[in-house]
Chain A
Amino acid sequence: QKEVEQNSGPLSVPEGAIASLNCTYSDRGSQSFFWYRQYSGKSPELIMSIYSNGDKEDGRFTAQLNKASQYVSLLIRDSQPSDSATYLCASSGGGADGLTFGKGTHLIIQP
């Protein structure tokens, strides 16, 4: 069974620091990886996608993928209180497959 594992947190980070979120996945056939942000009472919204080993940067966000270790991470630089949310890691086998989500990490940015 495909599984995506995340530390549930809460992860507390001071404002302006780097927040580091991690996830591992069980299915070696997974090809696509995503990070979603979910505010309390809201729906998940996509913030990053990554398909190849290495780093991918978008503004303050950097996604990292290591397929050999089956490991995905998300770095948030210059953390802001508005970054406080639950971050969901997801994987997919590609094609028309659905996404498998982790349970999420609750991130708190302390002003």
Chain B
Amino acid sequence: DAGVIQSPRHEVTEMGQEVTLRCKPISGHNSLFWYRQTMMRGLELLIYFNNNVPIDDSGMPEDRFSAKMPNASFSTLKIQPSEPRDSAVYFCASSRQGSSANEKLFFGSGTQLSVL
């Protein structure tokens, strides 16, 4: 399996621009997570989906952030408009969720976002 695939690996943009991050989860995994990592705050859960349905978006910092999962093999995280404080590494992760304890997360390589 190719693992969780994220694109782009690096994104440099100017303040006010729209940014779209993409993720392809591992085939057969039914849960998808978006995390943001900074030195100050560590890894923060932004939103997660189960069977393509958003379950908890309480970690999304502001209305400028939105996420979609139109099908089981694709998800996007959009920031519009972007601000310098959005600069971080954004990770997508997927897992196969069952009815028992949480299954392990597999992370993508991340997108390094720099907003100038």
Contact = CB atoms under 8 A, between A and B. Distances in A.
A95 B99 contact: yes
A97 B102 contact: yes
Interface string B19-49: 0000000000001010100000111010010
B102 A92 contact: yes
A31 B101 contact: yes
A96 B42 contact: no
Contacts of B101: 31-32, 51, 92, 94
B108 A99 contact: no
B55 interface: yes
Interface residues of A, number: 24
Interface residues of B, number: 24
Interface in A1-36: 31-32, 34
Given A43-B107, A46-B104, A96 B43 contact: no
25 contacts: A31-B102, A32-B101, A32-B102, A42-B109, A43-B108, A44-B91, A44-B105, A46-B105, A49-B104, A93-B102, A94-B101, A94-B102, A95-B97, A95-B102, A96-B97, A97-B102, A98-B33, A98-B45, A98-B48, A99-B33, A99-B102, A99-B105, A101-B35, A102-B42, A103-B42
Given A95-B102, A98-B45, A99-B33, 12 more contacts: A43-B110, A44-B91, A46-B106, A51-B101, A88-B42, A95-B99, A96-B97, A97-B102, A98-B48, A98-B56, A101-B42, A104-B42
